[in-house]
Chains A and B, each alone.
Chain A
Amino acid sequence: MDFVHQHLPALVVALPLVTGLVTAMVGRRGAGWWIAMGSSAAVFALCAQLLANVAGGGSQSVTYLLGNWPIPYGIGLVVDPLNAAVLATVALIGCVVTLYARRSMAQEVPEDRSHFFWALWQFCQVGLLGITITGDAFNFYVLLEISSLSTYTLIAMGKGRDRRALTAAINYLVIGSIGACFYLLGVAYLYMVTGSLNMADIHARLQDIFATWGTDAPVYRKTVIAGFAFIMVGLSLKLALFPLHLWLPNAYTYAPAAVTALLASTATKVGAYGFIRVIYTVVGPDFAWRYLHSDYILMICAMMAILGGSLMAIRQVNVKKLLAYSSIGQIGYIALGIASDNVYGLQAAIIHIFNHALTKGAMFMAVGCVLYRVGGVRLEHLRGLGRKMPLTMAAFTIGGLGLIGVPMTAGFVSKWYLVGGTLERGWMGAAGVVLVGSVLALVYTWRCIESIYFGKREEGAPEVREAPLSMLVPTLLLAVASLYFGMDSRLTSDISAQAAHFLLGVRP
């Protein structure tokens, strides 16, 4: 145990990397799933331990030096209240979705490719966990590429069911590469002016540069602004923030069901984490918000995302696409929380990262169950399933209520904090948009619910049964968790409060 405690941060990344490689070598004939499952369960245990350490030990951060090279020369893995929470979210979802994925993958991915599938599945998680835990701006880019490259391939593996998965994957590959390039360019600009790649070190050195801006001889003003802009646009592409979201709907729609559930609940969340990390701990809110006033840009994008994403979701007939557009709207809530620049708003962003992961994960998994049993996920396929697949549809409904933000669901807690944050900032319009977004969510959720419980299955349609237990249990697990965290939000609000206070540098 001593060994594990000493190397916790490194093991979170190294363990799934090694098991992923082993899977690529020996993961044929079902062995791949067992390795992936064991690995993701172990990683979840490690991340839970990290979170417990941070939550118990005040708000100071822990740094692990890779190769024992001192900061800023080497790469440091940094664990603080913010990323411990995101790590635990990613690991929890990874563990639950892996449990779910066995049956659905057996149907969607050819047997001779399964070892590659499970290897990439783990590499994707390596990338996402690594992005979250690293304290080095360049290492962030490398791990971003690891997760993105495996994601493109995982999406393309949906071609067995629908060949449009290939174009969706290529589309995402082009856009994702542009995003990663922009991020890298931005980091290069910051490196040019600070000579450092370590996030904390960049922050410290930027303070000296900012100090000259009030004087007659400002140095590197345009370079820093350009670097920041490049990083923000690059991360917005990964996050699918409103005007840059075009890759997301098709990628989510045509990817294999389990891959969609994994991506929707982790990949964009890690992008949101990157946003918070860069703004609050690399360049600092004084520069991003109070000097550049980019919080207004972010607020406008977020409001457009909430309205645009929800309006587009209303028009969809493919339920996977409907949920994908709804995800774009939900990302808007997270972005709005980040932009409000106060404890409530940041808490809303961090809580919503977790709550939306639970909610959307449960919904995409329920849709995957329908895909498994019925073979299609257009609205007409859902008709009358309330009687045929009651438990799956119950999970879907709970998720839908969470998207609306009905009290007693997780979505309500995040919206409560978000409205509080925007009002504290004095953004009445934004608070109004949040409420309008809930109404729009009600409309698109209702369209699904109407088909599920009030529609009738066509005469002569093939008989369908409840989803297999190995898919049903994880789906219900997330749905029940989203109810639990809607009723007892002590855990999420405590951790997010700790993270928000850490980011804003204020004592609770």
Chain B
Amino acid sequence: MKNNPIMRVVARWNIPFMFVFAVYVQVHGEIGPGGGFQAGVIMAASFILYGMVFGAAEMRRVVPRRLTDILAAAGVLLYAGTGIYSMLMGYPFLDHVAIWPGNPGGAEPWGMVSVEWGVGITVFAVMMTVFNEITEGTDEAPLGTDTEMVPALHQNKTEIN
């Protein structure tokens, strides 16, 4: 798809908006529809679109596998860390009141924000890992039918016949 101008232009225009939408879904998680899981998937989808159009190798140059490995663990660590913080402050595990003692109504959303960011980061990293695992070794030929590839495939077939 690298050589398809329509795909290239549409992807280039759309990806920034997908980013913004992902962050919008993320920061709305604690009070409205949305949340970390959906935001992580949307964010990963924008990178995967980039990878499908410009090639998985190009995407891995932008987001290396080492980074997604670390992010996958870091997200859950942020979630668990929120709980550990409550414990250190003398409250039960994951009791968000610890974040703002004396104002439970104010503390609860902040605890959820932290937890949702953890979920979002991990879901993003895991979706990227799934894409990376699927496309491993296909760096030379991007996903989908390349217009230039089709005649070549056809030629091979006739040769075998």
Residues of A within 8 A of B (CB): 3, 6-7, 10-11, 14, 17-18, 21-22, 24-25, 64-68, 119
The list of the 8 closest CB pairs from A to B, nearest first, reads A10-B93, A24-B73, A67-B94, A68-B95, A21-B73, A21-B77, A25-B73, A68-B92
Q: Is the CB of A14 within 8 A of B74?
A: no
B97 interfacial by beta-carbon distance below 8 Å = yes
A25-B74 CB under 8 A given contacts A7-B93, A10-B92: yes
Given A14-B83, A21-B73, A68-B91, output 14 extra A-B contacts at Cβ < 8 Å. Answer: A3-B88, A10-B92, A14-B80, A14-B87, A17-B76, A18-B81, A21-B77, A22-B73, A24-B72, A25-B73, A25-B77, A66-B92, A67-B96, A68-B97
C-alpha gap A68/B74 in the complex (Å): 25
Q: Which of B72, B76, B93 contacts A66 (CB 8 A)?
A: B93
Identity of the chain B residue whose Cβ is nearest the Cβ of A123 in the assembled complex:
B76
Taking CB atoms and an 8 Å cut-off, the chain B residues in 86-136 that contact chain A are 87-88, 90-97
Task: List 30 interface pairs A-B (beta carbons < 8 Å), by A numbering.
Answer: A3-B87, A3-B88, A6-B90, A7-B93, A10-B87, A10-B92, A10-B93, A14-B80, A14-B84, A14-B87, A17-B76, A18-B80, A18-B81, A18-B84, A21-B73, A21-B77, A21-B80, A22-B73, A22-B77, A24-B73, A25-B69, A25-B70, A25-B73, A25-B74, A64-B93, A66-B92, A66-B94, A67-B92, A67-B96, A119-B73
A11 contact set on B, CB distance < 8 A: 87
B83 contact set on A, CB distance < 8 A: 10, 14
C-alpha gap A10/B93 in the complex (Å): 7
B80 contact set on A, CB distance < 8 A: 14, 17-18, 21
Q: Is the CB of A64 within 8 A of B92?
A: yes
Identity of the chain A residue whose Cβ is nearest the Cβ of B93 in the assembled complex:
A10
C-alpha gap A119/B70 in the complex (Å): 12
Identity of the chain A residue whose Cβ is nearest the Cβ of B72 in the assembled complex:
A24
C-alpha gap A249/B97 in the complex (Å): 49
C-alpha gap A66/B74 in the complex (Å): 22
Identity of the chain B residue whose Cβ is nearest the Cβ of A119 in the assembled complex:
B73
In this complex, the member of A11, A21, A119 whose beta carbon has the largest number of chain B beta carbons within 10 angstroms is A21
C-alpha gap A6/B90 in the complex (Å): 9
B70 contact set on A, CB distance < 8 A: 25
Identity of the chain B residue whose Cβ is nearest the Cβ of A17 in the assembled complex:
B80
A10 contact set on B, CB distance < 8 A: 83, 87, 92-93
Q: Which of B73, B76, B93 contacts A67 (CB 8 A)?
A: B93
C-alpha gap A8/B73 in the complex (Å): 24
C-alpha gap A85/B95 in the complex (Å): 28
Total B residues in contact with A, Cβ cutoff 8 Å:
21
A25 contact set on B, CB distance < 8 A: 69-70, 73-74, 77
Identity of the chain A residue whose Cβ is nearest the Cβ of B95 in the assembled complex:
A68
A64 contact set on B, CB distance < 8 A: 92-93
B91 contact set on A, CB distance < 8 A: 68
Residues of B within 8 A of A (CB): 69-70, 72-74, 76-77, 80-81, 83-84, 87-88, 90-97
C-alpha gap A21/B96 in the complex (Å): 22
Q: Which of A7, A17, A22 contacts B87 (CB 8 A)?
A: A7
C-alpha gap A77/B93 in the complex (Å): 11
Q: Is the CB of B72 within 8 A of A14?
A: no
C-alpha gap A356/B132 in the complex (Å): 42
> What's the minimum C-beta distance from A121 to chain B, rounded to whole angstroms?
14
> What's the minimum C-beta distance from B24 to chain A, rounded to whole angstroms?
27
> What's the minimum C-beta distance from A114 to chain B, rounded to whole angstroms?
13
Identity of the chain B residue whose Cβ is nearest the Cβ of A68 in the assembled complex:
B95
> What's the minimum C-beta distance from B97 to chain A, rounded to whole angstroms?
7
In this complex, the member of B70, B72, B87, B92 whose beta carbon has the largest number of chain A beta carbons within 10 angstroms is B92
C-alpha gap A235/B97 in the complex (Å): 37
Identity of the chain A residue whose Cβ is nearest the Cβ of B71 in the assembled complex:
A25
A6 contact set on B, CB distance < 8 A: 90
A21-B76 CB under 8 A given contacts A14-B84, A68-B97: yes
A22 contact set on B, CB distance < 8 A: 73, 77
Q: Is the CB of B77 within 8 A of A18?
A: yes
B94 contact set on A, CB distance < 8 A: 66-67
B69 contact set on A, CB distance < 8 A: 24-25
B92 contact set on A, CB distance < 8 A: 7, 10, 64-68
C-alpha gap A25/B88 in the complex (Å): 23
A3 contact set on B, CB distance < 8 A: 87-88
In this complex, the member of B80, B81, B90, B96 whose beta carbon has the largest number of chain A beta carbons within 10 angstroms is B80
C-alpha gap A14/B83 in the complex (Å): 9
> What's the minimum C-beta distance from B140 to chain A, rounded to whole angstroms?
23
> What's the minimum C-beta distance from B73 to chain A, rounded to whole angstroms?
4
C-alpha gap A198/B90 in the complex (Å): 25
C-alpha gap A329/B93 in the complex (Å): 40
> What's the minimum C-beta distance from A505 to chain B, rounded to whole angstroms?
29
> What's the minimum C-beta distance from B120 to chain A, rounded to whole angstroms?
16
A18 contact set on B, CB distance < 8 A: 77, 80-81, 84
C-alpha gap A155/B128 in the complex (Å): 24
Q: Which of A14, A21, A119 contacts B93 (CB 8 A)?
A: A14
B77 contact set on A, CB distance < 8 A: 18, 21-22, 25
> What's the minimum C-beta distance from B87 to chain A, rounded to whole angstroms?
5
C-alpha gap A119/B77 in the complex (Å): 13
In this complex, the member of B73, B88, B97 whose beta carbon has the largest number of chain A beta carbons within 10 angstroms is B73
B73 contact set on A, CB distance < 8 A: 21-22, 24-25, 119
C-alpha gap A17/B122 in the complex (Å): 15
Identity of the chain A residue whose Cβ is nearest the Cβ of B104 in the assembled complex:
A68
C-alpha gap A68/B95 in the complex (Å): 6
C-alpha gap A6/B69 in the complex (Å): 34
C-alpha gap A64/B84 in the complex (Å): 15
Identity of the chain B residue whose Cβ is nearest the Cβ of A18 in the assembled complex:
B80
C-alpha gap A298/B91 in the complex (Å): 43
> What's the minimum C-beta distance from B74 to chain A, rounded to whole angstroms?
7
C-alpha gap A299/B93 in the complex (Å): 41
A14 contact set on B, CB distance < 8 A: 80, 83-84, 87, 93
C-alpha gap A466/B94 in the complex (Å): 49
B88 contact set on A, CB distance < 8 A: 3
